[in-house]
Amino acid sequence: MKLSDLKTAVENLLQKSIDNYTLVKAVNNALNVYQPIEARYESGRYTKYTDSISLTSSGYDLANITDLWKDSEGLVVYRDQIRDTYELPRRNRGSQSRGYELRADGKIYPVPSTSSYTAYVGYLAKPDRFSVSSIDLDQYLPIELEVEEMFEDFVLERYFRRKSQPAMAQEAEARFTEKLSKFFNQRATRVHAL
């Protein structure tokens, strides 16, 4: 679904025109609800990897990852190469077993602390948002085909019909969150059953 398709659908249901700026702001806000739920079930869509880093006792600052989306959620550290068999477990300070530690200073450190090695960090990357300064209605929404109608209903209810009624707007968001979670959970269950 393109932004233009969503705009037409919302205008038809409202029976009035909406401006592009308001639509894009509403879509970006709706994506702030949608994408964390999708990432919980399908993190691969948002996963990126750093180039090789040197993990030493001085630590690696996660602030170096400019598109890190959600703190340490989805964080995976690999030693030498990006393969499941090279994944390092998260450890506590003082452990003598090989791994990594994430400290409150926002850095990862090798465990044991006397270790140092080449590592790669897998992380959830911030999803792109639509630009409000140069709006292109031919852009496609980054959502699953099966949830387009649900997304359309949510944008309409939350950001156009109920925006002046906070309690009802929150109800619309709660319903959308529940429906999305159910959709992704059912799909994950079907995939695991195969």
pLDDT in tens, 82-122: 998 899 999 988 888 899 999 999 999 999 988 899 999 99
d(CA 112, CA 94): 7
Q: What is the DSSP string of 102-124?
A: E-TTSEEEEESTT--EEEEEEEE
At which of 67, 96, 124 does a domain end?
Answer: 124
At which of 71, 103, 124 does a domain end?
Answer: 124
Let me know whether 61 and 117 are in one domain.
yes
Longest alpha-carbon distance in the chain: 67
- Mean pLDDT lowest for which of 104-118, 121-135, 153-167? 153-167
d(CA 27, CA 22): 9
Q: Which domain holds residue 87?
A: 47-124
d(CA 65, CA 106): 11
Q: What is the pTM of this model?
A: 0.78
Residue 163 amino acid letter: K
